[in-house]
Each structure stands twice: as C-alpha cells, then as structure tokens.
Structure 1
Amino acid sequence: MIYLDYAATTPMCQEAIAAYAEAAAVYFGNESSLHDVGTKAKQLLTLCRRELAAMINGEAEGVYFTSGGTEANVLAVRSLVAARRQNGNHLITTEIEHASLHHLFKQLETEGYRVTYLPVDRFGRIRLEDLERAITPQTILASIQHANSEIGTTQPLADIGRLLRARGVLFHSDCVQTFAKIQLDVKAMAIDSISVSAHKVYGPKGVGAVYIDPRRHWSPVFRGATHESGFRPGTVNVPGIAAFITAAKQLYDRMESEQAHFERLRRRLLDAITVKQLPITVEGHPDYRLAHIVGLTVNGLDGQLVMLECNRAGIAISTGSACQVGQQAPSRTMLAVGKTPEEAKQFVRISFGMATTQSDIDELVSTLEQMILPQKGGWTG
C-alpha cells in the first residue's frame, strides 16, 4: 500500500518506538510519587518539557502534556477563557478550524459567549482587516490555526499575534499540523498558547501538549486536578511523552531537508497534473502553505469515489480531515473558500511523509488518470 495520508496520522518512527520501550521499562514510576522511582520519571518529564519548549522558543514551565491535540485545544481555550471571563464574553475564531475547536466554540456559544467566525478568501486565508474589525472591548481571546489540515494554507501568525497583543486579546493557535515541520516561535509570533500532537510527527497516538505563556493566567478546567500543575487530571504518560519528544526532535532537526523533499514531490505531482491536462483543481494558497499537504478538487468525480478507487489500486488518500470522515455534510473548509456543496464533495487530500517517493507520486497520477479518462482504457466504473 502506498500511504499518502500523513496529515491524518503518521507511523511511529523507530527512534520513538525505542524511546517508548526504554521509558516504559526504566522510567515506569508515577512522576508525582516522592520516592526515587517517581523522581526518576519526573526528571525525564522535565527534560521533555525543556526539549519541547526549545523547539518553539518557549519556556519549559509553560508546557503541559495532554492526551492529544483535541484535548490540548479544548483545555487551552477553556482554561484561558475561564480566567478572563470577568473581562468580556466575546471570542474570535475562523470558519475553517479543526473540528475540535469548531465544536468547542459552538458549545461556548450555548454557555453565554459570543463568537465571531472569520471568513477566509478563496485560498483559505483570513484578512487582517476582518480580524481587526471583529475585535470589540469585550473580546478576550482569538483562536486561529497555523495551517489548515485539508488544503495546507498557513495563516500569518506573526501579523495576527502583533495585532491581537496590541489590542489586549489572547491568541491561541492550533499548531498540530505545523509543529516540527515549519518554524514556530511563540515569542516572535506573539502567541499566548498553542496545541500540538504526537501522532502527526511520527510519535504515538494519545499524546499531545499545550504551551501557555507563563505570563498568562489560566483557570483549571478540572477543579482539584493535581497532575500537570493542575492543568489536567490523570497519571502522566511518561513513556508516551518520551516517545513524542524523541520523534519531534528527529523531525525538527531535519526540518529543512524534509521540506525540500516535500517541495520536490509536490512539484512532481502538480507538473504531472498540468502536463496530462487532468481536470483537477489545486486548492489552497500557492505560496503560503505546507508543502506536504495538497488539496485537490477532482472535477466531475465524487471525492469518496476517488478515495475508494485509489484504495482499490493500493493507494491511501483521504477526502479531508480524518476527524470528519463519515459525515454527510461537505467540508467546511471547501464551503468557506467558496465551493458549492457539490464541488466540495469532489475534494480529496494528498499528504506526503518521510517515506514518500517520486514513484509513489507517479503511481498516484497514473491511477487518477485512468479514473478520470476511462476512454483511454482505464477505469470504467
């Protein structure tokens, strides 16, 4: 099987597997325990906090480990909003956030908060003037993703951060798709909080992290929680965290070469689509985007059908965010960039990883060509 769905999840790298095994065998203690076995686990956890903080130019005391990206998003936003509730009840986000945040903001609306959902242009980018106009004296927090998981478009975080900080609005960003892939600097970007996830960077599933600027006050979502400085309950998954940070550091250290590899693969795919004159539209921003995520509208074919036919040919792709697969409604991202519901259902996502080769891209293009141009002797349904 040719795997081209790395934006959904990645396989654990060998270094992460080895780190997990060693940590589970040697650092098995509860890091909250006061004996030497617990202290040993706590020391490893402290080292992991420092490593993660260094990768985002943050402070170790601002790192809180979670069970994944979804919990990271929910706890970050809720804990920051709760601490500033007395200052206002207005929140800002975008129409194309990950499902975990979209559903959270819908829930917050039922709890007395007002939410502004910023529109995006046809490339999936917000307009800074829309953000500035949306801010009111009651605005306490804005949550704007770093990159969209379906089309790869990135937002201008530094510009957004400067604007929000000047207006006294807290800034959270979902960085699950970008962490360890493109440079993140929470200080230079004026970000107050970010969320990241292990299984997007060749680490284990069920592990993630929140970073909150230590200068920002937050209020615990779970009253009485004692783990992670009261940020969340439950014994900390030290082996999983060790595997997460090991994988992330491996990816972070080869960030430049990985991006160059992805750019070559992307160019090969897009050139082939052009040369073969396939009726496929490339979605997302041509410049401000992740190299490894390619959103495509296969004109005239349902995305679900394209995905299933690729699967039959031994190629794994997706029809969008894995967190929304199986839903009948078309992609919110596609609708937000101006597609009709029918057009939105023609969307598929290709995403590369470290093991993706040029021959994988060639095989994908050949499969798409047979599907789209049956008169040439290919797929006939």
Structure 2
Amino acid sequence: MNYFDYAATTPLDREAAEVYMKVATEYFGNSSSLHDIGGQAHILLENCREELAALLGIDKNGLFFTSGGSESNFLAIEALLSSPKKQGNHIITGMAEHSSIHGVLNRLTDYDITFLPLTSLGLIDEEELLAAITPETVLISIQHVNSEIGTIQPIKTVAQICQAQNIHFHSDFVQSVGKIELRGIAPLVSSFSFSGHKIYGPKGIGGVYINPAISWSPFFPGGSHEKGFRPGTMNVPAIAAMTAAAQKNNSNLADAYQKYNSWRKVFIETLNPINNWVNIYQANDDNQLPSIIGLGISGIEGQWMMLEANRLGFAISTGSACQIGMQTPAKVTQALGLNKQEAKEFIRISFGNSTTMEDVIRLGETINNIVNQYKIADLC
C-alpha cells in the first residue's frame, strides 16, 4: 500500500521510537516526584522544553505539553479568554478551521462568533478580516496551514492587526510545525498549538505556547503539572520522542520543502490528460505548503475515488480525519464556497518522508485510469 495521507498522521520515526523506549525504560520516574529518579525525568523534561522552544524561537516558560493538537487548541482558547486584553464578547475565526477550534467556540454561548470564508486561493481576505473587527472583538483564531488544501495564511499580517487592535491571536500550527521555519512567526502570536504525530513523533502528545506575559487562569482547577495548565502525569517518553522527531525535521526543512514542491508539480502534470475534470484548490507558491494537495474531480464523489484508489494500492483521503469521523464534508469546501456536489468530490493527497517520485507518478497515472474508466462507464 502506497501511503499518501501524511497530513492525517505520520509513521513514528525509528530514531524517535528508540528515544521513546530508552526514556520509558531508563527515565520512567514521575517528573514531579522529589526523589532522584523523578528528578532525572524532570531534568529530561525541561531539556526537551528548552530544545523545542529554541527550535520555535519562543520563551520556554510559555511552552506546555498536552495530549495533542485538539487539546492544545481547546486549552489555548480557554486560557486567552480567561485573560482578555479588553472587555468584549466577540470572536473571529475561519470557516475552514480544524474541528477542535469549532468545537470549543460552539460551546461559548456568551460570545458572538464570526466565521470568515476563504478566497478562491484558499486564503483569508485581510480586508474582510478588518471589516469583521468590532470594539467587542477579544480573540481572533486563524490556522497557519490549512490541513485539507495546504494554503498558508498571512500570520504576520494578522498578528500586526491583532496587536494594533488590542486583540488576542491564537493560531493552529499543527500542519506547519516541522514543515515551515517558524522562528520569525511563532513569537508574534498570543498562542499556538502543535502535535507530535504530524511530525513523525508519537500519537497522544503535543504542545501549546501561551505568551508568558498573559496571566491565564487554568481551565482545570487544582492541577499541579505544567504550572497548573493541565492535569495528569507528564508523558516524558513521548515528549522526548516528539522532541527528537522535531529536531530531525527541523534540520531538513529546506530540502524537504524543495522535494515536495517538485513532486507536487510532477503530480499535477500527470493529471494533464484529465485536467478538464480536475479542480485543484491552491494558492500561489509563496502561500502554499507543497506537500498537501486538495482537489476535486468533476462528477466523481471523493469517497468513491478514495475507495477505488485504496483498492488499487493507494491510501488517500477525503479531508481531515477528524472531520471524516463526523461524517460531514471537509470544512474547507464550505469556506471556499463550493456547492454540495463539488464538496462531495473533494479528495486530499499528502506527501511524506517515505514518498518517492515513482510513487507520485504512479498515483497520478492511477487517478487518470480511474477517471477514464468512470467516464467511459458513465457514457454507456
């Protein structure tokens, strides 16, 4: 089976797995315990925090470890709302945000929420964002990289707008950590989230950054771990493995970006014979993560295309795995203004470390064959 769903999850890196096993067996103490074994785990934990903070260009005092991106998004938003820069009850976010963002915002019944669509290039319209801001706006949440089409939002610009308007800014960095250089961007936001299993680390581990200048109140009262940010014994083996994976990814950012960009171009070229039926949802190169390709094939439902590709040995998806679990169309299709039929046609291709150029070409040829056979059968 050829795997093309790296945006959903990645295999655990072998070196990171070795780190996990070593820490789990040799540094197994509770990092909050006062004896020497606990102290060794605590030292390792803080070393990981310091290393990840350096990779991201942030103050380590604002970095907290969680169970993953979804929990990080939830706790970050709750933390920011516990300490707003001004009084108000208005929040702005994007229609295409991850389901965990929509989930936490939908429960905030005392707040008015504005959901912004995307332009045809899959980007937030800066003028529309400015027009949506009111004196009551206390929080803006815009993801950095969209998980379904890979468009890169103008985080620096949004951060400048938020700073000028005295508004907290949260950004979901789950699809950008380990894929884009972030040291010039991460310090600009009030908070951001990330996840280990998107960068060849373990599942069930992630992190959140909250600007240390913000005096947040914990969502879970009485917790003693992570300065009270969240309860639960620290998963030091997973944190160490995630840190090892992040270090490895970060050392190869430029080469990986260039490789995925060339594969993207080759894949799109292989679809030339059926380009009259293919719609690729993307931005220009400067605003596009090359490893994620969101597209639709006119007249063919994405789920059927996914099942056919699977039958022929290729694992692709119809969007975010979290959204698929809810049995609803990818949120990005609504944000792009696609109609119901176009939304059903959506599929996602995503590259990763084990992908080869030969795999990319064979996937493109396979999709060509599926479409041609479908169209012929449809004419009969």
> Fold conserved (TM > 0.5)?
yes
Deviation sequence 1:281-338 (CA, Å, 0-9, x none): 1112132111100001011100000000000001000000000114443222112112
Question: Are the equivalent residues in 2 in contact too, given 1:175–1:195 (CA < 8 A)?
Answer: yes
Deviation sequence 1:79-127 (CA, Å, 0-9, x none): 111222972221111111000001111111x2x1111112211122111
Deviation sequence 1:38-81 (CA, Å, 0-9, x none): 11101111111111111111011111000000000000101111
Match of 2:269 in 1: 271
Q: Percent identity?
A: 45
Q: Is it true that 1:336 corresponds to 2:332 in the alignment?
A: no
Displacement, 1:202?
0.1
Match of 1:69 in 2: 69
Displacement, 1:7?
0.1
Question: Are the equivalent residues in 1 in contact too, given 2:85–2:168 (CA < 8 A)?
Answer: no
Deviation sequence 1:192-235 (CA, Å, 0-9, x none): 11000000000000000001111122110001111011000000
Displacement, 1:380?
11
1:189 to 1:160, Cα distance in 2 relative to 1, 3 A: farther
Match of 2:159 in 1: 161
Match of 2:140 in 1: 142
Question: Are the equivalent residues in 2 in contact too, given 1:96–1:333 (CA < 8 A)?
Answer: yes
Displacement, 1:275?
4.9
Question: Are the equivalent residues in 2 in contact too, given 1:280–1:299 (CA < 8 A)?
Answer: yes
User: For residues 236 and 68 of structure 2, what CA distance do their matches in structure 1 show?
Assistant: 14
1:300 to 1:376, Cα distance in 2 relative to 1, 3 A: closer
Match of 1:310 in 2: 309
Match of 2:354 in 1: 355
User: For residues 63 and 365 of structure 1, what CA distance do their matches in structure 2 show?
Assistant: 41
The runs of at least 4 aligned residues of structure 1 exceeding 6 Å deviation read: 375-381
For 1:247, give the aligned amino acid: A
User: For residues 176 and 59 of structure 2, what CA distance do their matches in structure 1 show?
Assistant: 19
Number of equivalenced pairs? 379
Match of 1:26 in 2: 26
1:187 to 1:8, Cα distance in 2 relative to 1, 3 A: closer
User: For residues 349 and 375 of structure 1, what CA distance do their matches in structure 2 show?
Assistant: 19
For 1:283, give the aligned amino acid: Y
Match of 1:12 in 2: 12
Question: Are the equivalent residues in 1 in contact too, given 2:85–2:166 (CA < 8 A)?
Answer: no
User: For residues 175 and 104 of structure 2, what CA distance do their matches in structure 1 show?
Assistant: 19
Match of 2:92 in 1: 92
Question: Are the equivalent residues in 1 in contact too, given 2:191–2:210 (CA < 8 A)?
Answer: yes
Where 1:50 maps in the other structure, the secondary structure is helix
1:285 to 1:356, Cα distance in 2 relative to 1, 3 A: same
1:28 to 1:332, Cα distance in 2 relative to 1, 3 A: same
Deviation sequence 1:234-273 (CA, Å, 0-9, x none): 0000000000010011001101111111011101101111
For 2:25, give the aligned amino acid: A
Deviation sequence 1:330-357 (CA, Å, 0-9, x none): 2221121121011110010000001101
- Give TM-score, length-normalised by structure 1: 0.95
Match of 1:297 in 2: 296
Instruction: Please list every run of 5 or more consecutive structure 2 residues that lacks an aligned counterpart in the other structure.
Output: none
Match of 1:113 in 2: 111
For 2:200, give the aligned amino acid: Y
* RMSD of aligned alpha carbons: 1.9
For 2:119, give the aligned amino acid: D
1:85 to 1:277, Cα distance in 2 relative to 1, 3 A: closer
1:189 to 1:211, Cα distance in 2 relative to 1, 3 A: closer
User: For residues 300 and 275 of structure 1, what CA distance do their matches in structure 2 show?
Assistant: 16
Match of 2:251 in 1: 253
Instruction: Please list every run of 5 or more consecutive structure 1 residues that lacks an aligned counterpart in the other structure.
Output: none
User: For residues 150 and 188 of structure 1, what CA distance do their matches in structure 2 show?
Assistant: 22
For 1:261, give the aligned amino acid: K
User: For residues 148 and 294 of structure 1, what CA distance do their matches in structure 2 show?
Assistant: 11
1:156 to 1:363, Cα distance in 2 relative to 1, 3 A: same
Match of 1:285 in 2: 283
Where 2:159 maps in the other structure, the secondary structure is helix
User: For residues 267 and 86 of structure 2, what CA distance do their matches in structure 1 show?
Assistant: 51
Question: Are the equivalent residues in 2 in contact too, given 1:371–1:379 (CA < 8 A)?
Answer: no
- Give TM-score, length-normalised by structure 2: 0.96
Displacement, 1:376?
9.6
Match of 1:56 in 2: 56
User: For residues 63 and 186 of structure 2, what CA distance do their matches in structure 1 show?
Assistant: 18
Question: Are the equivalent residues in 2 in contact too, given 1:159–1:189 (CA < 8 A)?
Answer: no
1:81 to 1:22, Cα distance in 2 relative to 1, 3 A: same
1:85 to 1:162, Cα distance in 2 relative to 1, 3 A: closer
1:88 to 1:365, Cα distance in 2 relative to 1, 3 A: same
User: For residues 346 and 375 of structure 1, what CA distance do their matches in structure 2 show?
Assistant: 14
Displacement, 1:277?
4.0
User: For residues 258 and 43 of structure 1, what CA distance do their matches in structure 2 show?
Assistant: 32
Question: Are the equivalent residues in 2 in contact too, given 1:174–1:195 (CA < 8 A)?
Answer: yes
Deviation sequence 1:9-60 (CA, Å, 0-9, x none): 0000011101101110111111111111111101111111111111111011
Residue of 214, 217, 220 corresponding to 2:218:
220
